[in-house]
Structure 1
Amino acid sequence: MAKQAEAIWGGLIGRAAFVGAFVLFGGVWQLAMAQPSGADGSDFVYRVQPGDTLISLAERYMDSVQGWRLLQQRNHVADPYRLQPGSLLRIPFDRIPVVPATAQVVFARDATTGGKPLQAGTKLAEDAQIDTGDKGAVTLAFDDGTRVTVPPGSHVALSRVRAFARAGLIDVRVHVKKGEAESNVAPKKSGVGRYEISTPALVTGVRGTRFRVQASEAGSTSSVLEGEVATSAGRQKQAVKAGFGVVASAGHLKRTALPAAPRLDTIPQLVQTPCLRATWQPVKGAVGYRAAVARDAALTELTAYQSSKAPAATLCGDEDGDYILVVQSVDALGLTSESATRPFTVRLHPEAPYTIQPASDRTYRSGDVAFAWAMVSDAGSYDLEVSDAETFASPVIQQHGKDVRLVRPLTAGTWWWRVRSVAADGKTGPWSDAQRFRVLDIPLDAAPTAAVDAGDDGKLHAHWSALSPELVASGARTRVQLAGDTSFAKPIVDIVSEGNEATLPRPPSGVYYIRTGVDLGDAASVVYAKPQRIDVGSFVGDSARSPVQSGDGNLLLND
């Protein structure tokens, strides 16, 4: 996704007071913008348009049309009927009627208010308290399009949620007690009333800009992404522009440049595994990184948050779609960079079937060879390929059909096979990892040896797509479960595999389900793929003791 265009809406530098330190955001005027221009201390600032008079402005914005006299006095206007277009007019906030307003939840995940779960569409009034869990997030929208996103581990209060009745502008104050909030103020460039975010050590009054505010026991930070800032702590004053940030601690402010954003050029555009191990080059001056996955171009529907000291993150999910990887650098002061973004597409479904036989690197008798795999719930059919080369440049067998078990003749040699699911609409999923096996000319009366295995060892062999080398290097393993139902409440088998195959005790005849998940060392957070069905039963052998296809096409294994 292209970097969001830099905002050029601004206003006069506002003022807000708070015990300790305070920071106030503003910007520069642009004549082409709409007339409402934001706050300056206790005044609303208006840019005069052709045809405006003090009487018409008092009627539009103030509690009484007679307010024009106050406007004339405060703004030193000689003729209330002749105003200079483009000039600035101050209107006291205390003379502009306010009405209650609400903040609407546009995205919520593992977030609560007053102990109750939040969901999209919920409207929150003044004094609402918001908590996000360790993996939660919430994005709120106000009437003018302003949005504030609250990431995991945060506690935020809506101290004031109102609107100026006749101006159509918001009057909002948000208090970040713990954690963080990122705001995109007045993105429609239609003007701002008051928008203020505070922490225990920092107050930020802002309009027409993007910024992040973070509160912790060590202090508070504000990272300015767009706009211009004026900071003050006691007698200290500092002008801060986009690309810089401030740290507030013990009543003092420190201004410094934000760290550079990482480069995400090496992130693949197509992901066909449930977990992505994203890596990038280290950023000079960064002591850590934060990564998340956005489901929308506005970067407000964020999931899979992760913090890391290394320039890498493991992000997991199981839903197909178009996403955006969002990564920020973090410096030693806690200031964060502009978000680096990288779009990517996840295509997991229909999933590759778990392959059963021929098992990897096993030897089979020449003649009819049975190919079997698990049944994928959202697959309408399957594609099978068998080749004498790992590249599958010229497959010897190409089969499309609904069966999950096929028998095909093969001569002696080394072979590779793979299978993929095909949805009812013709959409194909990823291929399974190719499995290599050998076929030998073995006489029927030959005695079995350790080096010659006809393939019938009374075990259940399961193979799945291997984890990427980057995931394995990060400590990821595959958790494998076999159960008699799709709830997996009481799995028959529950193991962690170092590779991409497992040899399991063959259960009694019946219907079973198998699933795998990426295990990052915490069994409670394993991301599992959808279960796939295996029918374990008896089938009749032919004269060469090779399995025979069942009538309904289900996978049947020797009992």
Structure 2
Amino acid sequence: MSTRTRPPRKALAAWPALAALTWALPQALAAQTLAGAQDLTHQVVRGDTLHALAARYLDDAAQWPALAQANRIANPRRLQPGSVLHIPRTLQPWASARVQYVRGDAQAALPGKESTSPVAADAELPEGTRLQLGPDAYLSIRLSDGSIVRVHADSDLQLQRLRKRARPGSARSVLELQRGRLEPSVTPDPAGQQQLDIHTPHATASVRGTRFSVQTDAAGRTLTAVSEGMVAVRGGERAGGEALLQHGWGAVVDASGRAAAPVALLAAPDARALPSHAHDADFLRLKLPPVQGARAYQVQLARDPELTEVVRAATAPGPELSLPAVADGNYHLAVRAIDTHGLPGQGAQAEFTVKAHPIAPLYQSPQRDAHLTGPTVQLQCTRVAEAARYRIQLATNADFDAPLFDATSDGDCQALTPTLAPGRYLWRMASLRALDDGRWDQGPYAEPQGFTLLPEAPSADALRSRQSADAATVLSWPARPGQRYRLQLAREAGFATLLVDETLEQATWSAAALPAGHYFVRLRSIDASGLESAFSAPHVLSVIAPLRSSAGQAITSGDGTAVQRP
């Protein structure tokens, strides 16, 4: 059973037309918040003139006749102290919005034009601009008062009205959201004037200074969730009614303009349990702390804690999800649980570090779970085009807290182990690249791969079988359940002419007849969900010509390594 509190019944009864979206606040405050904020008002004091007031509020002293006409002032030279003048919003000077950040396919149609063009960073967006975002786009725009509006993927938004006011940092804006989701952070107005209206086809949200989200869904509903401050919500014209939503509460207005009773938002996920790092160059695999009552989870990865520059965003039905990889660096991870109404809950944030490059080499020999004879083993892996040094470790446990062997190899990714007793061993390797300042930058280790050292030599038949298998070029890499891979092989790093282009069901690939020489290999992972990674940085594969017996079999040393032709 949900533990979320419900608003008092008496408060609910005060707003029958809107299912009482206002509670725990006096009705007078709600009326004050929603009333007459379309125009500015000014109480006349001794010494005021229409000429000075037009300059102050309209940025143009020559507009004083329009101000006089709007207020039906017969004698402009005599203003009565204590009287109230209205400054219509139609007279307020226009402002514009500015693009603070854009990612993906975001298109803008300027006022009076049907054609669109890509939105550019730092571009100015005049009043009337229509914005349309693709399925992987994200846009942050700054209004003239400093407020930030974050526009999410698959949104259709028009900047219907952008007006500035004379006071610094004050403005009045109206946005029309036909489809999608917005997350504004509105700068508080010192005079308490409303600053932003968001209209959807069936509802309006009006704010003074707060952070919240407004979203439309496929059923035509409008979902408003308040994480800071207060938001005034109105239903459609036929439904009527208006009220305030406090922080921590949300409301749903259906396609007929009728609002359901407000609900408390789900609690924030445990920020201490959010993932803090990722080392996978293919995907961002996130395991989130579950929230009771959640039917889905909303995730954002941004470069800044204000979530203005979001690089990845997704909604998943459960607390485990995969996102396309991002460049190495420091980020901020924000997570919300979504309730059964579709309302996003309170948010949790954590710092998040991605370190996936230089990528780890591919395993070459010994092959995964191979059985070898000792007492030493030649460990060999592919080179990585962006690396010049490799670190190779050997241990008896997956923690590698006390490695038996920890070696650095320049040039080739290979190492000969010390004398080993029979048993099972694990090994792993990482790439290092040289930085401009002379330091070495180590990438993540590959997941460990094991082999077994036998206590005695195998039979002649087993040896012949192993020698025959070892004549092939075999590559392997860490596998994940349900994941497939696409492997490409070429003679040059540009992969203009492909020698191999295969989709693999297993995390291994072999080729029995590659001529000796150097090759380039790259991999793309295909997640169980169908999400595809980008191709990896190229691996460099060196194929040697093995020395063969009179029977045509490759001759190998005791550790299974092919003996190279002199």
In structure 2, which of residues 94, 101, 110 is the aligned counterpart of residue 106 of structure 1?
101
Q: Distance in 2 between matches of 1:160 and 1:358?
A: 68
| d(CA) in 2 for partners of 1:507, 1:353 | 20
Post-superposition Cα deviations, 1:248-290, rounded to whole Å, max 9, x if no partner, equal 2213222312431333543332221243433345434433222
How far off is 1:98 after superposition?
0.4
Is residue 244 of structure 1 aligned with residue 249 of structure 2? yes
Shift of 1:189: 7.1
Would you say 1:279 and 2:287 are equivalent positions?
yes
Contact 2:223–2:253 (Cα < 8 Å) also in 1: yes
Aligned residue in 2 for 1:203? 204
8 Å Cα contact 1:383-1:420 kept in structure 2: yes
Secondary structure of the 1:60 match is helix
Matched, 1:482 2:473: no
Distance change in 2, residues 1:544/1:501 (3 Å) = closer
Match of 1:416 in 2: 426
Q: TM-score, normalised by structure 2?
A: 0.75
Check 1:190–1:364 CA distance in 2 against 1; reply closer, same or farther (3 A cut).
farther
- Structure 2 counterpart of 1:333, one-letter code: H
Deviations for 1:471-526, whole angstroms, at most 9, x for unmatched residues? x4xx4x1414132044556461423344x444454533333233334322466733
What is the identity, as a one-letter code, of the residue corresponding to 1:380?
A
- Secondary structure of 2:514's counterpart equals coil
**1:266–1:279 Cα contact (<8 Å) kept:** no
Q: Which residue of 2 aligns with 1:60?
A: 56
Larger displacement relative to structure 2 (163-172 or 322-331): 163-172
Deviations 1:412-460 (A, max 9, x none): 523332211122122222222222223457779x624179835852222
| CA contact 1:224–1:245 (8 Å) conserved in 2 | yes
2:11 counterpart residue number = none
Cross-structure match for 1:508: 515
Equivalent residue for 1:379, pick from 378, 381, 387? 387
Compared CA separation, residues 374 and 38, structure 1 to 2 (3 A): farther
Distance 2:403 2:311 in 1: 41
Equivalent positions of 1:152-191 (< 5 A) are 152-164=153-165, 169-186=170-187
Report the CA distance shift for 1:232/1:104 in structure 2 as closer, same or farther (over 3 A): closer
Structure 2 match to 1:5: none
User: Cα distance, 1:73 vs. partner?
Assistant: 10
Contact 2:390 2:429 in 1 (8 A): yes
**Number of paired residues?**
505
Contact between 1:283 and 1:329, CA under 8 Å: does it hold in 2? yes
Unpaired stretches in structure 1, ≥5 consecutive residues? 1-19, 29-36, 549-554
CA offsets 1:325-370 (integer angstroms, 9 cap, x no match): 2222223333222322232211111222112112222133436643
Instruction: Indicate conservation of the 8 Å contact 1:209/1:226, yes or no.
Output: yes
Give the structure 2 partner of residue 526 of structure 1.
533
Identity percentage of aligned residues: 24
Any stretches of 5+ residues in structure 2 without a counterpart? 1-17, 27-32, 109-114
Q: 2:296 aligns with which of 266, 288, 302?
A: 288
Are 1:184 and 1:211, in contact at CA under 8 Å, matched by a contact in 2? yes
Contact 2:363 2:476 in 1 (8 A): yes
Distance between the aligned counterparts of 1:482 and 1:557, measured in 2?
Answer: 26
Distance 1:402 1:157, change over 3 A: same
Distance 1:417 1:46, change over 3 A: farther
CA distance in 1, matches of 2:116, 2:215: 23
Give 1:309-324 correspondences, 5 Å limit: 309-324=317-332
Cα drift, residue 398 of structure 1: 2.7
Measure, in 1, the Cα distance between the counterparts of 2:186 and 2:250: 17
1:341 aligns with 2:346: no
Aligned to 1:256: 262
Cα drift, residue 201 of structure 1: 0.8
Output one character per residue of 1:184-218: Cα deviation in whole Å (capped at 9) or x when no partner.
11269798774221111112232211121112343
CA RMSD of aligned residues (A): 4.4
Deviation of 1:226 after TM superposition, in Å, equals: 2.0
Please name the residue that 2:442 is paired with: 428
Following the alignment from structure 2 to structure 1, what is the Cα–Cα distance between the partners of residues 461 and 352?
51
For the residue of structure 1 that corresponds to 2:56, the secondary structure is: helix
Shift of 1:167: 5.3
Number of the residue aligned with 1:536: 543
The 5 A counterparts of 1:439-458 are 439-440=453-454, 447-449=460-462, 453=466, 457-458=470-471
Counterparts of 1:455 and 1:399, CA distance in 2:
30
Question: What amino acid does structure 2 have at the position aligned with 1:133?
Answer: G
- Counterparts in 2 of 1:95 and 1:238: CA distance versus 1, 3 Å: closer
Maintained 8 Å contact 2:383/2:413: no
**Secondary structure in 1 aligned to 2:440?**
coil
Instruction: Check conservation: 1:464, 1:501, Cα contact below 8 A.
Output: yes
1:295-334 CA deviation, whole Å, 9 max, x = no partner?
Answer: 2111122233222222332223141111222222223333
- Residue 525 of structure 1 aligns to a residue whose secondary structure is coil
In the TM superposition, residue 292 of structure 1 has moved relative to its aligned partner by 2.4
* CA deviation after TM superposition for structure 1 residue 244, in Å: 1.8
Q: 1:280 to 1:167 in 2, by over 3 A?
A: closer
SS at match of 1:322: strand
CA contact (8 A) 1:61 1:167 kept: no
Mapped pair 1:361 → 2:361: no
The answer (yes or no) to whether the contact 1:541–1:547 under 8 Å persists in 2 is no
Does structure 2 conserve the Cα–Cα contact (< 8 Å) formed by 1:38 and 1:46?
no
**Contact in 2 for aligned 1:108/1:120 (Cα 8 Å):** no
**Partner of 1:127: helix, strand, or coil?**
coil
Q: What's the counterpart of residue 462 of structure 1?
A: 475
In structure 1, what is the equivalent of residue 12 of structure 2? none
Cα distance in 1, alignment partners of residues 337 and 445 from structure 2? 36
SS at 2:275 equivalent: coil
Work out whether residues 458 and 558 of structure 1, in 8 Å CA contact, stay in contact via their aligned partners in 2.
no
Distance 2:43 2:394 in 1: 74
Report if the CA contact (8 A) 2:70-2:86 is conserved.
yes
Is it true that 1:300 corresponds to 2:311 in the alignment? no
Return the match for 2:451 from 415, 433, 437: 437
Task: Give the letter for the 1:510 counterpart.
Answer: G
Cα distance between partner residues in 2 of 1:556 and 1:110: 54
Q: Distance in 2 between matches of 1:511 and 1:190?
A: 72
Q: Which residue of structure 2 aligns with residue 34 of structure 1?
A: none
CA distance in 2, matches of 1:510, 1:222: 62
Aligned-partner Cα distance in 2 for 1:44–1:403:
72
Distance in 1, matches of 2:391 and 2:189, equals 50
Q: Does 1:142 align with 2:165?
A: no
Question: Is 1:352 the counterpart of 2:360 in the alignment?
Answer: yes
- The amino acid of 1:257's aligned partner reads V
Verify the 8 A CA contact 1:293 1:304 in the aligned structure 2: yes
Aligned pair in 2 of structure 1 residues 492, 524: CA closer, same or farther (>3 Å)? farther
SS of equivalent to 1:360: coil
